Copies of this chain bind each other. A is one copy, B any other.
Amino acid sequence: MNFSRTYTLKEISQIIDSEFVGDKNFPVKGMNEIHVVRAGDIVFVDHPKYYDKALQSEATVILINKKVSCPEGKALLISEDPFRDFNRLSQHFKPFARADRSIAKTAKIGKNTVIQPNVFIGNHVSIGENCLIHSNVSIYDHCVIGDHVVIHAGTVLGSDGFYFQKRAEGFVKLKSVGRVVIEDDVEIGAACTIDKGVTGDTTIGCGTKIDNQVQIAHDTVIGKNCLIASQVGIAGCTVIEDDVTLWGQVGIKSDVTIGKGAVVYAQSGINGDLAPGKTYFGSPAAEARDKFRELALLRSLPKLLEKIKK
């Protein structure tokens, strides 16, 4: 998330009532999670295991729970609870605004776009031209939709990321203030759910086609011209490169990369990166030809063992 203007380190520290290390006028332009941070961003870290990663990331402002030595050209915000204060900042800069009507006045809707009945369109949503949004679709605040996009009935864009930290008092939620970005010529089936990014964007690339009941979690980025069949579930922060085909009921873990042009057969479970251009099957998945050989072997095993016995 980029702020609407550049803030100073001091201004930010006052919002969360924290100490800071660095020039009080150090520029702060936004806040983001570790995997997408850039110069000017705040990143948070609350576990010594990840200190180095955060301090050495592209982020130039580190919200941290220990007064470590500050890297050259960066600044620190010292907090007893960086998770809580990251939430405070995101709520300060992007507070939830209750809707007062089904289609917000601040929503922009392009020429020739058709909105069917009972659709909800939140604040500051932007929808391009020649789109067709079917009935009972819900589009949360700040979602961005390109041109020639079709969204079928009952689909939800921009629900919160499923991101909780376990604490003694129960699960605490990292508040989602990112966006869903749907590029041009995308079609999304009925009853799909696409969560917004926590601070960044969940993105569906140009020309990608998504069937019914597909789940796409926060901060996941899907490339161009992918084909995603029904009931596929893709966890958070995953990258699906261009021209990927996922058949029905496939599940994909968080934080993995599916290489360009990969094909994943139905009901497979993906728990690691997949190479480009190859075909996969199984749960956990392997290259399809290996998996099929394995399955054939398993079927022939009783006779094989009989032979060995003899």
Which residues on A are within 8 Å of B, measured CB to CB? Answer: 96, 98-99, 101-102, 114, 116-118, 120, 132, 134-138, 140, 150, 152-156, 159-160, 162, 164, 170-171, 173, 185, 187, 189-193, 195, 206-207, 209, 211-213, 215, 217, 225, 227, 229-231, 233, 235, 248-249, 251, 253, 266-267, 269, 271, 283-284, 286, 293-295, 297-299, 301-302, 304-305, 308
Q: A305 CB to closest chain B CB, in angstroms? A: 7
Once the chains bind, are A191 and B154 in contact (CB under 8 Å)? yes
Where chain A touches its partner, the secondary structure class is loop
Contacts of A227 in B (CB 8 A): 164, 171
Copies of this chain in its oligomeric complex: 3
Once the chains bind, are B135 and A99 in contact (CB under 8 Å)? yes
Q: A99-B116, A116-B98, A118-B118 are in contact. Are A209 and B164 (CB under 8 A)?
A: yes
Once the chains bind, are B299 and A294 in contact (CB under 8 Å)? yes
Q: A102-B118, A138-B134, A170-B225 are in contact. Are A267 and B251 (CB under 8 A)?
A: yes
Q: A83 CB to closest chain B CB, in angstroms? A: 16
Question: How far apart sit A209 and B207, CA to CA, in the bound complex (Å)?
Answer: 34
Residue picked from A135, A189, A217, A231, most chain B C-beta under 10 Å = A135
Contacts of A269 in B (CB 8 A): 249, 266-267
Q: A184 CB to closest chain B CB, in angstroms? A: 10
9 sampled A-B residue pairs with Cβ under 8 A:
A99-B135, A118-B118, A135-B138, A215-B230, A235-B248, A249-B249, A267-B267, A294-B302, A297-B298
Residue picked from A153, A155, A301, most chain B C-beta under 10 Å = A153
Q: A102-B118, A189-B159, A269-B266 are in contact. Are A249 and B251 (CB under 8 A)?
A: yes
Q: A101-B117, A156-B152 are in contact. Are A251 and B248 (CB under 8 A)?
A: yes
Q: A281 CB to closest chain B CB, in angstroms? A: 9
Partner of A283, one of B99, B213, B267: B267
